[in-house]
Amino acid sequence: MTAPDEPETPASASAPAPDPEGPDAVDDGAVEDDEDGPETPTEVRDRRVRSAVEWVAVLGGAVVVALLVRTFLFTTFWIPSGSMEPTLMGEGRRDRVIVNRLSYKLHDVNRGDIIVFEVPPGEPTLTIDGQQVQDLIKRVIGLPGETVELRDGDVYVDGELLDEPYLPDGVETEPICGGDGVYEVPDDSVFVMGDNRPMSQDARCWSTHSVEESAIVGRAFIRIWPLSEITLF
C-alpha cells in the first residue's frame, strides 16, 4: 500500500507576509501626519496671529519700497496746463508722465530734455481745481553759460539757429513778456520754455529768466496716460 498523498499547501499561504519597513516595501505615496490630532483653539489662534504678522510685514515692506522709489528714483506728474501742448496735453486730458529723479545725478542736463522743476522763488504759482501747483514742466532750451536769443520768430543759441522738430509747423517764438529777447543763462541754471510758445509762462517771463539746476526734480521720460498715447521722450 502506498501512503496517501498529502494535500498541497498553496504558496500564498506558506509565504511569509512582506515587511512594510523592509527594502522591498512599496511606497504608495502616502504621507503620514506628524501632528498629534486636530488643532486646539490656542494653536489655531497662534497660527492666525503668525499669518497676520507675516502679511503686515509684507505690506509694510511694500509700502517702504514704494516710498523709497517715489522719493529717490521715480515719481509721477500730471500736466497742469496747456503750456506744453501739443507734446503734452493739459486741461481736458491731463496727461501723466513718469519723472526720473536720478537722471541729473548721473549726467548733465541736455538740451531738449523735458524737465519738472520747482517754481522759481518769487514767481507766482498756479492754482488748478483748488490745488496749488508747486512744480512746473517745460523743455530745456539753453544750457549753463549760453546766450539764448529770440529773433524773427526763431530761437538762436550762441548765435546758432536751434532746430526744434517737436514744435508744430508755423509756430513762432517771441519774447511774450517784453524785453529784447536776449537771455544770458547763469552757470548753474538752464533756460526753459513750453512747447506752446504763444501761451507758455516760462523763463521769458521770470525775473531770473532761468531755473537753477538744484531746483530740477527730474527728467520726464515717458507718458503713461492716456494709455493710447504712451510715449518715450
What residues are annotated to the active site?
A: 83, 138
Grid coordinates representing 96 are 501723466
Query: Which parts of the chain are beta strand (E)?
Result: 74-78, 96-100, 114-118, 126-128, 131-133, 135-142, 147-151, 154-157, 160-161, 182-184, 189-193, 211-212, 216-225, 231-232
Say if CB 90 and CB 82 are below 8 A apart. yes
Give the Cα separation of 117 and 140 in Å (integer): 11
Grid coordinates representing 92 are 481736458
